[in-house]
Structure 1
Amino acid sequence: MPVSELLERVSSRELSEWMAYERVAGPLGFDRADVQSAIVAATVANANRGKGKPLTPADFVPKWDRKPKQTVEEMVQLAYALNAAFGGSVVNAGGDDGAAE
């Protein structure tokens, strides 16, 4: 549902009440399904694991868009790689582009 339609159908008060409920009861919708599935997956995995460290539901919940932070060196390397892939050239700070005159 688009935000504009939501705001036409639900009052600010009702929306605030749902937000407060979610803070107390946990996420609604697909986030909740992920947690429920993780509980089942952890139970099945632990029932069949034998010896070893027990798994928790957190081990099975997907982590969306959680990429590790890149170092400056990694960002520079990526910039060089993309530049080369798109046929660009490197221009040094002194204005020398490395091309033969």
Structure 2
Amino acid sequence: MSVAQLLATHSSAELTEWIAYEQVTGPIGPARDDLLMAVLAATISNANRSKGRKARVTDFLPKWDRAKKRMNWQDMLTAVKSINRTLGGDDLTEGGEHGSPLGTPRQARHRQPGADRRR
């Protein structure tokens, strides 16, 4: 899928949600091969180890969420809005910079442009 196709089929709000999700959980899709590699590394390590502590998969898995303090939802929303602004997106939430009659992003992204217009 090209960038133009992506932008034509996904709203800024939806892309921002995916960016925020990936920042917390780590790569999405084939990039998540780190888990498969951790399983393989633990298996090889355990097959070749002498007596002692057995290796766990988590010993070889990168830690993606390195935040010392877990953010509450308000802090997360502030961070997402900041990323959205940086990427040039519109804030469709109530009270957002570019408030919209469509309401929240969740409602807005599922409506077709012009769907509220009466004929």
* Larger Rg, first or second structure (1 or 2): 1
Greater RCO between the two (CA within 8 Å, min separation 6)?
A: 2
